[in-house]
Amino acid sequence: MPYFLLAPGLIWLALFFVAPIITLIGTATKTPGAGIGEFVQTYRWANYWDAITGSAGQFGRSFLYATIATLIALAIAYPLAYGIAFKSGKYKNILLVLVVAPFFCSFILRTIAWKQILGQNGPVFRFLLDLHLVTPMTHLTATPSAVIIGLAYNFLPFMTLPLYGSLERIDPRVLDASGDLYANAFTTFRRVTVPLSMPGVVAGTLLTFIPAAGDYVNAEILGNPSTKMIGNVINAQFLNTQDYPLAASLSFILMIIISLLVMVYIRKAGTEELV
Amino acid sequence: MPDASTSAKGDLKLSNLTKSYGDFKAVDDLTLTIPEGSFFALLGPSGCGKTTTLRMIAGLEEPTSGKISIGATDITDKRPYQRPVNTVFQNYALFPHLTIFENIAFGLRRRGVKDVNEQVEKVLNLVELQHLADRKPTQLSGGQQQRIAVARAIVNRPALLLLDEPLGALDLKLRRQMQIELKWIQTEVGLTFVHVTHDQEEAMTMADTIAVMNEGRIEQMGSPAELYDNPKTAFVANFLGQSNLIQGNIVDSDGDFHVVDLYGQKTKVLKSRTHSRNNSVLYAIRPEKLRIDTENHTQPGNRFTGGHIVDVSYIGVSTQYQVELPWGQEIMVFEQNDDGIPPLDKGDEVTLSWEPTFSFALDGAQDANAGSEVNPEAE
């Protein structure tokens, strides 16, 4: 009878997760019917294959961009989280608020702001121009780099917070013990701090990589036609072309690939030993 | 790095060691020599500076001034990992991500020692936990973690082993057992142990020498028996066990004894056990040295007459009485239950007597409650 208590959760899951997934899988195998925008169920499973082959480039690009953006976010967030956790003293809470402060402003607006920051009249371009690293003819916006910068920026808080969480939990006496047992600062970091922060690294990279791989806003605003990610294709197929079967099969494939990658990753990172 | 752990040997010397935080002096001009191979305890209430002293020896805290040396080697400016010193931390600080084996091997691996397996196994045998080598620290009980923390430190054969309240997290029974075990390990490995604790019983059980610390300074140093038997300050008298301290004045001399007037009652104390520069003294007698009786027997020695019992606690091996003396002060009396006579009752008129040689006298200008109002469990 205690299972009865699970009912609200189960009903919620059934209505808002299982049912949409089944609808999605079903929609994917439909073919165009007589009227415009009308599709009939013909169980054409080959639709999935067509979707993969048709958008292989965008799939590849999505995972490439998401991987690079995740690595950049990790490189920025780790020192940041480390500083907040161990060195910030009384400013700890203020710094944590600042990490999430960007959420008070719309995601789209912040991404558009990067267009200004990286634009011909923006500070970044001017600075690089002064260093003669770019010529006035080049541009930073509408490039793969801009898309990746945008992704890394937008998901940085999702990387920082779990990292902070796991670093902050480390008992400072364990770090003292490492120093006491003949490990210098670098060895202590490598042998004690990093292994103990692995749960945060795993959580942070997943929280960054998964949404980044499915994102289309950054590629839309900061990219060009040749930087389209799989999210852009799905968006276009659903809303512009209204090829629902193709959009549905792309969505489902994206979901499957991400799930597989996450499973392999978690197994490799071996988090179950750490938590 | 390997040289650090093998070269410096000898006595630990602290010279004029001071640690200030702003105006507050946590450790105040501490000078101390701890002989090689001894089991030394720094005993004091929380905030007395004992842990700061330990952390400075370990290199985890930088002294404001002063010098720390082991034998002829000055280690004051050495980093923690360059010192031939290992620590057993409070709550053990075992590495949660490493197995017990790797925890113990950590220091050996950092120093590039060759026969890691052999040494780890040897020390695991010493603490009798060889069967737990592959477990993680969280899978061990508190007592087992404690022994691993000791093993992880002594496997490096440091010149000095520091123990920071090592038994604080254990329950009473386990603590007793570990006290005996630690003492045995110290004798077995022959290293110098410096033990920091607020638990006077723990210090007295294990240490050869105890330094009682208060407000950043050493109040008194000596063997447990010396400190208990002949304390030189009110703080030591109250912090190690209990003492009855009674305000009085030296009024006369009688051979080896001073005659002290305590609210009109004349008592004696050995001159050699009097630690006061003037005639005003705190006359002191331990509760278990007092004999209690309802009749005024003419026994030799000191006595107080006209007291009455205000509280009786029967605790099995002994009975503890609280006796109010004619001038209103209450003092403690511990009576062994070894004579088959039932305990006296509340309200009984009693006479207290004791051997004059057991009493001692302290400087009368001190606070008679110094060291007694601190709660040793507060940490």
* C-alpha dist (Å) from residue A194 to A25, A78, A157, B17, B354: 41, 10, 19, 36, 65
A181 contact residues in B (CB cutoff 8 A)? 81, 86, 106-107, 110, 152-153, 156
Segment B31-43 mean pLDDT:
93
Q: Is A32 part of a structural domain of the chain? A: no
Q: Which CATH number belongs to the domain containing residue A176 in this structure?
A: 1.10.3720.10
Q: What is the ipTM of this complex?
A: 0.79
Q: What is the CATH number of domain B244-363?
A: 2.40.50.140
The reply to whether residue B80 touches residue A171, judged by beta carbons under 8 angstroms, is no
CATH homologous superfamily of B2-229 equals P-loop containing nucleotide triphosphate hydrolases (3.40.50.300)
* C-alpha dist (Å) from residue A64 to A144, A149, A160, A242, B103: 11, 13, 21, 27, 39
What pLDDT sits at residue A248?
94
Q: Please state, rounded to an integer, the average pLDDT across all residues of chain A.
A: 91
Q: Which residue has the tokens 């290293």?
A: B191
Measured from the Cβ of residue A209, the count of other Cβ atoms closer than 10 Å reads: 26
What pLDDT sits at residue A3?
84
pTM: 0.81
Instruction: Compute the 3-state secondary structure of chain A and give helix, strand, coil in percent, each to the nearest 5.
Output: 80, 0, 20
pLDDT of B7 over the 60 cut: no
B59 contact residues in A (CB cutoff 8 A)? 179-180
Q: Is A184 part of a structural domain of the chain? A: yes
d(CA B103, CA B96): 9
**Is A182 in CB contact (< 8 Å) with chain B?**
yes
Segment A166-188 mean pLDDT:
94
Nearest CA in chain B to A171: B93
The reply to whether residue B90 touches residue A173, judged by beta carbons under 8 angstroms, is yes
**Beta strand pairing status for B85-88 and B160-164?**
parallel
Number of structural domains chain A divides into: 1
Cβ atoms A152, A72 nearer than 8 A: yes
DSSP β-bridge partners for residue B275:
B362
**Is A184 in CB contact (< 8 Å) with chain B?**
yes
Delimit the domains of chain B by residue range: 2-229, 244-363
Q: Which residue has the tokens 């009798």?
A: B128
Q: Is A13 part of a structural domain of the chain? A: no
- Residue A245: domain span: 58-273
Using one digit for the tens of pLDDT, what is the confidence trace for B228-241? 999 999 999 999 98
Cα B254–B258–B262 angle (5° rounding)?
Answer: 120
- Residue % of chain A over a pLDDT of 90: 75
d(CA B334, CA B323): 11
Q: Is A192 part of a structural domain of the chain? A: yes
Query: Which of B96, B152, B156 lies at the smallest CB-CB distance from A196?
Result: B96
Q: Is A171 part of a structural domain of the chain? A: yes
Using one digit for the tens of pLDDT, what is the confidence trace for B164-206? 988 887 888 888 888 888 898 898 888 899 999 999 989 999 9
B194 contact residues in A (CB cutoff 8 A)? none
Using one digit for the tens of pLDDT, what is the confidence trace for B112-147? 999 999 999 999 998 889 999 999 999 999 889 999
